[in-house]
């Protein structure tokens, strides 16, 4: 028996998607593809490649219907894995990786030389559109050192989206590794969630989407049914202040809130391990995950 979806169902889905395609055509959508989503199946290389390939298909489809996707990626799990293989101790303070000179070299190798290339290659399998760059290129992300204790961890001072706009105007898909550069040319490791929000705001993006390894923001982390489908900026801040949101979700939700407060129309937190979660969120009435609104 064929496993193909019934043609009438396919047609109904396309009709449902049509008003959303019209709505977002010509709009910039920044998608933060987390290293946690890319490494969602540790040791399962085939599963990881399938997840990345599905994501790449979604991004190419967005571009094909006139939407302007910009991919921003992290690579925390991959950096940690390489550090362990090299016998380098992994240390975190307040959720941020302590980054000495050697750790910074490792982070740049992983983010720019490995993860960025993997995402670019996956997209270009489906259409030759992706161009990889880092925050160091053309001073896309200018940063300063956060603290001596954290080493070469940077806070964003400025985002110059000129290069990204140029690539978008040529019909290309920018894929950004989140390494910033200081005034004296020093590179800094930048939190990818924060960078994605800052880039989205600088681009006046219509949407900012975080693809991670959790379903979204939950009122109770142990109860999937407590998923919050929509939350305002004020309520999201309250969830953070009251400790309802914990761990790695804090920088994501905080960056989403800042981006919406700075003019991004909507921000979303989705489970990147779910096939085509990006398309479901953007093009269907039901959607998935959590949406942050003004």
Residue 98 binned pLDDT confidence (cut-offs 50, 70, 90)? very high
Q: Nearest Cα to 177, choosing from 76, 72, 104?
A: 72
More confident: 215 or 202: 202
In this model, does residue 17 exceed pLDDT 80?
A: yes
More confident: 225 or 130: 130
CB atoms within 10 A of CB 59: 28
24-293: CATH topology: Carbamate kinase (3.40.1160)
In this model, does residue 78 exceed pLDDT 60?
A: yes
Q: Nearest Cα to 202, choosing from 142, 250, 146?
A: 142
In this model, does residue 94 exceed pLDDT 90?
A: no
In this model, does residue 38 exceed pLDDT 90?
A: no
Mean pLDDT of the 147-170 span: 97
φ and ψ at 130, to 5 degrees? Answer: -80, 140
- Domain map of the chain by residue range? 24-293
Residue 249 binned pLDDT confidence (cut-offs 50, 70, 90)? confident
pLDDT of residue 4: 60
pLDDT of residue 1: 38
pLDDT of residue 124: 98
In this model, does residue 49 exceed pLDDT 80?
A: no
In this model, does residue 36 exceed pLDDT 80?
A: no
pLDDT of residue 2: 44
Residue 170 binned pLDDT confidence (cut-offs 50, 70, 90)? very high
For the chain, the three-class secondary structure string (H helix, E strand, C coil) is: CCCCCCHHHHHHHHHHHHHHHHHHCCCEEEEEECHHHHCCCCCCHHHHHHHHHHHHHHHHHHHHCCCEEEEEECCHHHHHHHHHHCCCCCCEECCEECECHHHHHHHHHHHHHHHHHHHHHHHHHHCCCEEEEECCHHHCEEEEECCCCCECEEEEEEECCHHHHHHHHCCCEEEEECEEECCCCCEEECCHHHHHHHHHHHCCCCEEEEEECCCCCECCCCCHHHECCEEEHHHHHHHHHCCCCCCCHHHHHHHHHHHHHCCCCEEEEEECCCCCHHHHHHHCCCCCCEEEEC
pLDDT of residue 181: 97
pLDDT of residue 7: 84
Mean pLDDT of the 140-148 span: 97
In this model, does residue 44 exceed pLDDT 60?
A: no
In this model, does residue 39 exceed pLDDT 60?
A: no
In this model, does residue 140 exceed pLDDT 50?
A: yes
């Amino acid at each position: 028996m064929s496993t193909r979806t019934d043609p009438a169902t396919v047609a109904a889905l396309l009709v449902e998607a049509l008003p959303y395609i019209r709505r977002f055509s010509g709009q910039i959508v920044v998608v933060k593809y987390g290293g946690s989503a890319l490494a969602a199946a540790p040791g399962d290389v085939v599963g990881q490649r399938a997840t990345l390939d599905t994501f790449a298909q979604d991004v190419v489809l967005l571009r094909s219907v006139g939407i302007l996707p910009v991919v921003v990626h992290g690579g925390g799990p991959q950096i940690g894995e390489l550090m362990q293989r090299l016998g380098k101790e992994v240390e975190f303070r307040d959720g941020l990786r302590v980054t000495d000179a050697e750790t910074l070299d490792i982070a740049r190798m992983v983010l720019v030389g490995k993860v960025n290339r993997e995402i670019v290659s996956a997209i270009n399998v489906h259409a030759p559109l992706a161009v990889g760059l880092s925050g160091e290129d053309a001073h896309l992300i200018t940063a300063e050192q956060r603290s001596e204790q954290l080493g070469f961890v940077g806070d964003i001072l400025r985002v110059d989206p000129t290069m990204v706009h140029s690539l978008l105007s040529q019909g290309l898909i920018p894929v950004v590794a989140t390494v910033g550069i200081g005034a004296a040319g020093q590179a800094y490791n930048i939190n990818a969630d924060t960078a994605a929000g800052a880039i989205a705001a600088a681009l006046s993006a219509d949407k900012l989407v975080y693809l991670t390894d959790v379903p979204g923001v939950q009122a109770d982390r142990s109860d999937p049914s407590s998923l919050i489908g929509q939350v305002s900026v004020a309520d999201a801040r309250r969830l953070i202040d009251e400790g309802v949101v914990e761990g790695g979700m804090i920088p994501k939700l905080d960056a989403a809130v800042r981006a919406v407060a700075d003019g991004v129309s909507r921000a979303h937190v989705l489970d990147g391990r779910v096939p085509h979660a990006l398309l479901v969120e953007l093009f269907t009435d039901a959607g998935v995950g959590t949406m942050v609104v003004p």
